[in-house]
């Protein structure tokens, strides 16, 4: 086997990266701190794998050249080797160290992206409930009192907290240039943190294949200055109709709809599920109540106490 044949996969990989198009991959073109953390992790992983691949190819080429059949006499008999303990330890320890290094990087990355983005001090996050239904996304702004379908606006230089859940099958909320992906489920609230450092329009979608209409579950997030965001909220409240329970029911039944805006939210008549931390606290609270008072489930007063704990 010639050296050219062995080098071809490396050359093909490099060509695929540099000639894939003028626009970079969105996950490698971050516009926010959490997305930057994920991008850095991807590059570290790629660099580590390239180092491993380079070592493997160098060793392979060396073995093929040094021990090829034509270099030795026809009656050559290789000496018997019982083994080399140093080499065996070396090629066992190196993979362990490689996996351990990538594991540590991954753990640190998960810790960073699961928290409010750093660098924003005591800025209060903007809370947006992002609920999915077949095949659309509903964005509810509880503090602003508005709701949108298949698009959302966020202010730049401010932490954003998306609280995710689903009115149908499990979906996956993903905005590649702002954050990683997080599942949205029917009976549990999940949370994803992000922030936008730059103004612009960012594409998002459901990245979980969950039916024939999942490709339509795309949305756009517009990041703009705080003043422009406030003006957009005022325009929606002044010009768009209120969202009624009947209208919301029709939206859930519709297969595919375009962009819509409302001057109220569905949270008042269709509450989101409890988030995971509250669920865990509720279970612990319920167990303690049972231990104290026998087989006693949470009543309304207890649930109010749990809401206070969750806050």
Whether 108 and 132 share a structural domain = no
For the ranges 31-35, 71-75, 109-113, 191-195, the lowest mean pLDDT is seen at 71-75
In angstroms, rounded to a whole number, what is the distance separating the alpha carbons of residues 108 and 176? 19
Q: Which pLDDT score, from 0 to 100, does residue 79 have?
A: 77
How are beta strands 136-141 and 218-224 bridged, if at all?
unpaired
Whether 299 and 246 share a structural domain = no
* pLDDT of 164 over the 60 cut: yes
Please indicate, yes or no, if residue 202 is contained in any of the structural domains: yes
> 5: part of which helix (H) or strand (E)?
helix 3-18
> Which CATH number do you get for residue 225?
2.60.40.420
* pLDDT of 280 over the 90 cut: no
In angstroms, rounded to a whole number, what is the distance separating the alpha carbons of residues 245 and 222? 27
Q: 3-state SS of the chain: helix, strand, coil percent to 5?
A: 45, 20, 35
Q: Which two structure tokens, joined as six digits, stand for 121?
A: 């001090």
Please indicate, yes or no, if residue 177 is contained in any of the structural domains: yes
Q: Which pLDDT score, from 0 to 100, does residue 301 have?
A: 47
Q: Which pLDDT score, from 0 to 100, does residue 289 have?
A: 56
Whether 38 and 130 share a structural domain = no
Mean of all residue pLDDT scores within the chain: 85
Q: Which two structure tokens, joined as six digits, stand for 69?
A: 């059949």
Please indicate, yes or no, if residue 233 is contained in any of the structural domains: yes
Q: Which of 8, 5, 35, 6 is nearest to 204 (CA)?
A: 35
* pLDDT of 258 over the 70 cut: yes
Whether 181 and 174 have beta carbons less than 8 Å apart is answered as yes
Domain count, the chain: 3
Residue with more model confidence, 243 or 118:
243
Q: Which of 163, 133, 164, 125 is nearest to 149 (CA)?
A: 133
Whether 209 and 148 share a structural domain = yes
Please indicate, yes or no, if residue 272 is contained in any of the structural domains: no
What residues does 151 pair with on adjacent strands? 220
Please indicate, yes or no, if residue 166 is contained in any of the structural domains: yes
Q: Average of pLDDT values for 120-149?
A: 94
Q: Which pLDDT score, from 0 to 100, does residue 32 have?
A: 94
Whether 133 and 166 have beta carbons less than 8 Å apart is answered as yes
What residues does 193 pair with on adjacent strands? 161
Count CB neighbours of 19 within 10 A.
7
Q: Which of 219, 201, 175 is nearest to 34 (CA)?
A: 175
Q: Which pLDDT score, from 0 to 100, does residue 306 have?
A: 46
Q: Has this prediction a pTM greater than 0.75? A: yes
Q: Give the domain extent around 34.
A: 3-65+83-113
Whether 151 and 190 share a structural domain = yes
Please indicate, yes or no, if residue 250 is contained in any of the structural domains: yes
């Amino acid at each position: 086997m010639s050296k050219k044949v062995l080098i071809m996969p490396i050359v093909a990989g490099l060509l695929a990266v540099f000639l894939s198009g003028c626009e970079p991959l969105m996950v490698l073109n971050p516009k926010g701190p959490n997305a930057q953390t994920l991008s850095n992790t991807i590059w570290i992983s790629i660099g580590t794998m390239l180092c491993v691949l380079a070592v493997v190819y160098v060793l392979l080429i060396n073995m093929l050249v040094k021990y090829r059949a034509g270099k030795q006499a026809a009656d050559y008999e290789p000496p018997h080797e019982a083994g080399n303990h140093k080499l065996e330890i070396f090629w066992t320890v190196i993979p362990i160290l490689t996996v351990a290094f990538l594991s540590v990087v991954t753990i640190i990355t998960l810790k960073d992206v699961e928290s409010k983005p750093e660098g924003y001090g005591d800025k209060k996050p903007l809370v947006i409930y992002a609920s999915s239904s077949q095949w659309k996304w509903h964005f509810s702004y509880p503090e602003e009192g508005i709701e949108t379908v298949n698009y959302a606006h966020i202010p730049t230089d401010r932490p954003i907290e998306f609280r995710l859940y689903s009115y149908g099958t499990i979906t996956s909320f993903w905005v590649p240039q702002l954050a990683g992906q997080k599942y949205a489920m029917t009976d549990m609230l999940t949370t994803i943190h992000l922030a936008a450092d730059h103004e612009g329009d960012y594409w998002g979608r459901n990245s979980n294949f969950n039916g024939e209409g999942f490709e339509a579950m795309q949305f756009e997030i517009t990041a703009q200055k705080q003043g422009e965001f406030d003006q957009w909220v005022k325009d929606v409240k002044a010009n768009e109709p209120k969202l009624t329970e009947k209208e919301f029911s029709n939206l859930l039944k519709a297969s595919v709809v375009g962009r819509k805006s409302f001057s109220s939210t569905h949270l008042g008549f269709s509450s989101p599920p409890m988030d995971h931390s509250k669920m865990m606290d509720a279970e612990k609270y319920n167990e303690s109540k049972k231990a104290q008072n026998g087989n006693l489930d949470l009543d309304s007063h207890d649930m109010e106490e749990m809401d206070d704990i969750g806050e």
